[in-house]
Copies of this chain bind each other. A is one copy, B any other.
Amino acid sequence: MALFQSSIVRNRLLSMLSQEDYALLEPSLERVSLPLQTVMIETQQPIQHVTFLESGISSTIANTDEGRIEIGLVGREGLVGVPIILGVDQTPHRCVVQGAGEGLRISTVDLRAAIQARPTILQPLGLFVHTLMVQMGQTAYANVAFDIEARLARWILMTQDRTNGSDLVLTHEFLAAMLGTRRPGVTSATHALEGMGSIRNKRGRIEVRNREMLLELAGDAYQVAEDEYERVITTN
């Protein structure tokens, strides 16, 4: 199944496509760089592209009157532009690049045409939508059932999953938005994690030291969505 392709494409959804399906999309895919803070989907604006991330992280944000709350995280295991997959043209939730990277993007028009021509393309995309729903559900759960330390551990794990090394570029300010809490709350939570040796705190960066510890801290808020992804989406 398209060996050459997986050596170029790192996105797990694209590399899951059959050779024929991928061949149909390929001419329409445009490689784009995704600098930090790029707004990939703006509230109430038509979504022009679907982007398959190759690296980096994008997060979905529930827009609040002031202050943002992150409700979803996507890396190279997924795509940005889920509403398009579901036949919707826009959404009230914004998507922003939270870790610089690259993506392969396709215009909404081209993607829809491709799906029309070969409906099997939709298959892996639907699977991904499911895993994202599970992730959001777990986030809703974590937000109400876990304290800041546990939620912090969860987000660090989720971020690391979508990053190469163990050095994560994350300011406390940003983490506070992810966790829906105040910035000083993050500072003390990172200290707690650092105190037990699970992470190391640097300026604008967090180094994962002991992943096992983080897993334990995050409890059953983590791993459910991640297992579901592996169960459902098999990249060969």
Q: Nearest-CB distance from A179 to chain B (Å)?
A: 7
A to B CB contacts below 8 Å, 25 in the list = A62-B141, A64-B141, A64-B145, A64-B220, A65-B220, A67-B145, A69-B140, A82-B130, A85-B126, A86-B126, A87-B122, A87-B123, A87-B130, A88-B126, A88-B127, A88-B130, A91-B130, A91-B134, A92-B227, A93-B137, A136-B137, A140-B143, A143-B144, A144-B144, A144-B179
Dominant SS at the A interface? Answer: helix
Chain B residues near A127: list those with CB within 8 A: 86-88
Question: Is A181 an interface residue when CB atoms closer than 8 A count as contact?
Answer: yes
Within 8 A of B (CB), among A78-95: 82-83, 85-88, 91-93
Question: Is A138 an interface residue when CB atoms closer than 8 A count as contact?
Answer: yes
Chain B residues near A225: list those with CB within 8 A: 92
Question: Is A71 an interface residue when CB atoms closer than 8 A count as contact?
Answer: yes
Residues of A within 8 A of B (CB): 60, 62, 64-65, 67, 69, 71-72, 82-83, 85-88, 91-93, 119, 122-123, 126-127, 129-130, 132-134, 136-141, 143-145, 179-181, 220, 224-225, 227-228, 232
Chain B residues near A220: list those with CB within 8 A: 64-65
User: Provided the pairs A91-B130, A93-B134, A130-B91 are in contact, do residues A140 and B62 lie with their beta carbons within 8 angstroms?
Assistant: yes
Chain B residues near A71: list those with CB within 8 A: 136-137, 140-141
Extra inter-chain contacts (4) besides given A86-B130, A92-B134, CB under 8 Å: A86-B127, A136-B140, A141-B180, A144-B181
CB-based nearest B residue for A91: B134
Chain B residues near A69: list those with CB within 8 A: 140-141, 144-145
Q: Nearest-CB distance from A84 to chain B (Å)?
A: 10
Cα separation A60 to B82 with both chains bound (whole Å)? 21
- The answer to whether A145 and B86 touch across the interface, beta carbons within 8 angstroms, is no
Chain B residues near A122: list those with CB within 8 A: 87
- The answer to whether A130 and B232 touch across the interface, beta carbons within 8 angstroms, is no
